Chain A
Amino acid sequence: NAGVTQTPKFQVLKTGQSMTLQCAQDMNHEYMSWYRQDPGMGLRLIHYSVGAGITDQGEVPNGYNVSRSTTEDFPLRLLSAAPSQTSVYFCASTPGREETQYFGPGTRLLVL
């Protein structure tokens, strides 16, 4: 198993540009989540999904969209990037309610 994979590893955007951060897992996990990590603030939940076709907002959802058309993929879309979205983004998955979350390696995003 490759586990949780994220692409790209690094990205530089200009303000107003759009992009999609990809996340995939090959463990057949139902739950998937997106977090952002900022210095001094730990990780904060952006959006999550409890299964294909079901998504919900986390703590900091503004400026981001998600969809979950398959169990394996959970892309995160930035519709109009802002400098405040400069961060490291982590995708995670877990098989069930009490199970460990498995994190991807992260995507480092810089918005100029």
Chain B
Amino acid sequence: AQSVTQLDSQVPVFEEAPVELRCNYSSSVSVYLFWYVQYPNQGLQLLLKYLSGSTLVKGINGFEAEFNKSQTSFHLRKPSVHISDTAEYFCAVRTGANNLFFGTGTRLTVIP
């Protein structure tokens, strides 16, 4: 069975500071990993994805994530956050029949 754990439900950070949103997954088979962002009252938008190849994945809006197979992690990072990054971030894993299993989300609040 697959599962995704996002360890932090809320992360406050000051503007221009770095941020890391943590994600761990469990799966007995190969996985595809995703980070989605949800701005207030909107649907989900893909930030980045890992399917294979380089373990460091770059996404939109300056975000990147690193796939670590030994630690079963896929943490999301940004070196300098902006007010507009305030949103909820979801880590997800996909296996088998093309369905996504989501974590419970991390609400990132950027403080001016």
A residues whose Cβ falls under 8 Å from a Cβ of B = 31, 33, 35, 40-45, 48, 50, 56, 58-59, 90, 92, 94, 96-98, 100-101, 103-106
Cβ of B51 under 8 Å from chain A: yes
B residues near A35, Cβ cutoff 8 Å? 100, 102
Assess whether A41 is in contact with B104, with CB atoms less than 8 Å apart. Answer: yes
Interface pair A105/B90, CB less than 8 Å apart: no
Chain B interface extent, by class: 20 to 34
Q: Give B contacts to A, CB under 8 Å.
A: 4, 6, 9, 32, 34, 36, 42-46, 49, 51, 90, 92, 97-105
Given contacts A97-B98, A98-B51, contact A42 B90 (CB under 8 A): yes
Q: Which of B6, B44, B46 has the most CB of A within 10 A?
A: B44
